[in-house]
Each structure stands twice: as C-alpha cells, then as structure tokens.
C-alpha cells in the first residue's frame, strides 16, 4: 500500500476539527492508520500550505514542501505521542522543511540581499496564483525582506493569529524572544512601506 500523502495536491477545503484522542488511537492501529492519516492531511493541508507559501511564495515550491512535510510526518507518525498538539507537531515539521528548502535555495543562488529581494519581487509579480492588489503586493515585498525566522514569526502572529505560547512550541524559541522578533519585524515592515508608498 502506498503512503496516502504521496498524492497530495493543494485544494482549498473547509477546515474540519479533529478529535486528537480518536485520531491518535486510530494511528496506533495498523488497520486504521492510513485512514486516520488521510484525515490529518485533509484537515491540515490548507493551514500548512499557507504557512509554507508565505515563506517561499511560489505555489509549486509550497506544494512540494507541503508534500515533503506530510511524507516526513507519515514516516514519523508512530513516534508522535501527543506531548504537544498534532497541529503544533505538523507546523514544526513544515517549518523545518521550509527552512531546509530556503537554505538549499540560498546556497544555490548565493546572491546579495538586494538581488534576492529583486528576484522575490519578480516572483510575486509573475505568480499566476497571486491576485492581490498593490497594497498586498507591497506588504508581501516587505515581508520577504525580513530574515526567514523573523518572517515566519510575523506570518504566524499576523496572518494566523497564533499565540506566542504555540509559536514557542513550534519554533523552539522563548516567548520573550518571539515577541521581540515580531515587534522588530513590524517596525521593519512599517519602515519598508513608508519608503515605498
């Protein structure tokens, strides 16, 4: 039987709530494991896709990273013991996969920050999936000018309205450091927008 996550494609679906205790019990039994994991994929695909997409911008790259994150989750699902929320565990995997992708991309590109931002701007403007207005385009450019970890902190807090406690579990950083990082990101974005408006 093939891994259920190998055929993932992003679709905008309605978020469903999971009864984690039930899902965890189903994951422990071989006869219900695939079905339970399919439900996890169905429930969290959209959230994770947008978490990744805000970091990498390209739909294709985000889809590939999402697929890799679910493959990694599937391979390690039996080691998940419920010490944190399932969503937190999945976010952490997706976040690490995204950072790995960005690191590989940076190594391949080896360009200066101005060139990298310029390439990002071209990518945003040429993306057929991007349908935002000029203000949204400028905001995305400002966000992309942030360092990757600061960008992710901003995205989690601003777009996903995560609590610092949950962000701390996902990123492995203290709540105080996350608050400082978020406020610094807001200042940088504000400064960027002032210069470009």
CATH number, domain of 63, equals 1.10.1740.10
Which residue is listed with tokens 């969503």? 87
Confidence (pLDDT) at 38: 95
Looking at the fold, whether 175 and 87 belong to one and the same domain comes out as: no
Query: What whole-number distance in Å separates Cα of residue 13 and Cα of residue 60?
Result: 18
Looking at the fold, whether 143 and 91 belong to one and the same domain comes out as: no
Query: What whole-number distance in Å separates Cα of residue 132 and Cα of residue 124?
Result: 10
Confidence (pLDDT) at 111: 42
pTM of the shown model: 0.68
Our CA angle for 162, 167, 168, nearest 5°, is 150
Which residue is listed with tokens 């408006």? 197
Tally of domains in the chain: 2
Looking at the fold, whether 9 and 96 belong to one and the same domain comes out as: yes
Sequence-distant (≥ 6) Cβ neighbours of residue 116 within 8 angstroms: 106, 109
pLDDT digits (tens, 9 = 90+) for 77-122: 988 877 888 989 999 999 899 989 988 886 654 444 444 444 444 4
Query: What whole-number distance in Å separates Cα of residue 84 and Cα of residue 90?
Result: 10
Looking at the fold, whether 126 and 81 belong to one and the same domain comes out as: no
Confidence of residue 156 (pLDDT cuts 50, 70, 90): confident
Looking at the fold, whether 173 and 138 belong to one and the same domain comes out as: yes
More confident residue, 152 or 76: 76
Are the C-beta atoms of residues 65 and 95 closer than 8 Å to each other?
no
Looking at the fold, whether 116 and 101 belong to one and the same domain comes out as: no
- Coil, strand or helix: which one is 73? helix
CATH number, domain of 116, equals 1.10.10.10
Looking at the fold, whether 10 and 105 belong to one and the same domain comes out as: yes
Question: CA torsion 148→65→85→152, rounded to 10°?
Answer: 10
Query: What whole-number distance in Å separates Cα of residue 79 and Cα of residue 54?
Result: 29
Looking at the fold, whether 20 and 105 belong to one and the same domain comes out as: yes
For residue 178, give both structure tokens: 């996350």
With the C-alpha atoms ordered 169, 140, 101, 67, is the resulting torsion angle positive or negative? Answer: positive
More confident residue, 20 or 10: 20
Looking at the fold, whether 101 and 129 belong to one and the same domain comes out as: no
Sequence-distant (≥ 6) Cβ neighbours of residue 4 within 8 angstroms: 34, 37, 38, 41, 74
* Residue 86 structural domain: 1-110
* Statement: residue 65 has pLDDT above 90: yes
């Amino acid at each position: 039987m093939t891994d259920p996550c190998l055929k993932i494609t992003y679709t905008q679906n309605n978020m469903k709530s999971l009864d984690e205790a039930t899902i965890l019990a189903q994951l422990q039994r071989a006869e219900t494991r695939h079905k339970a994991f399919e439900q996890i994929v169905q429930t969290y695909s959209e959230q994770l896709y947008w978490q990744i997409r805000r970091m990498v911008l390209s739909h294709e790259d985000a889809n590939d990273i999402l697929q890799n994150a679910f493959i990694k989750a599937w391979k390690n699902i039996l080691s998940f013991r419920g010490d944190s929320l399932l969503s937190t565990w999945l976010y952490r995997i997706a976040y690490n996969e995204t950072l790995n992708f960005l690191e590989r991309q940076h190594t391949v590109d080896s360009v200066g920050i101005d060139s990298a931002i310029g390439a990002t701007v071209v990518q945003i403007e040429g993306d057929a999936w991007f349908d935002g207005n000029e203000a949204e385009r400028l905001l995305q450019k400002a966000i992309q000018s942030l360092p990757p970890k600061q960008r992710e902190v901003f995205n989690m807090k601003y777009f996903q309205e995560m609590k610092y406690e949950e962000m701390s579990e996902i990123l492995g950083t203290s709540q105080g450091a996350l608050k400082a990082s978020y406020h610094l990101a807001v200042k940088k974005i504000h400064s960027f927008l002032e210069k470009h408006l």
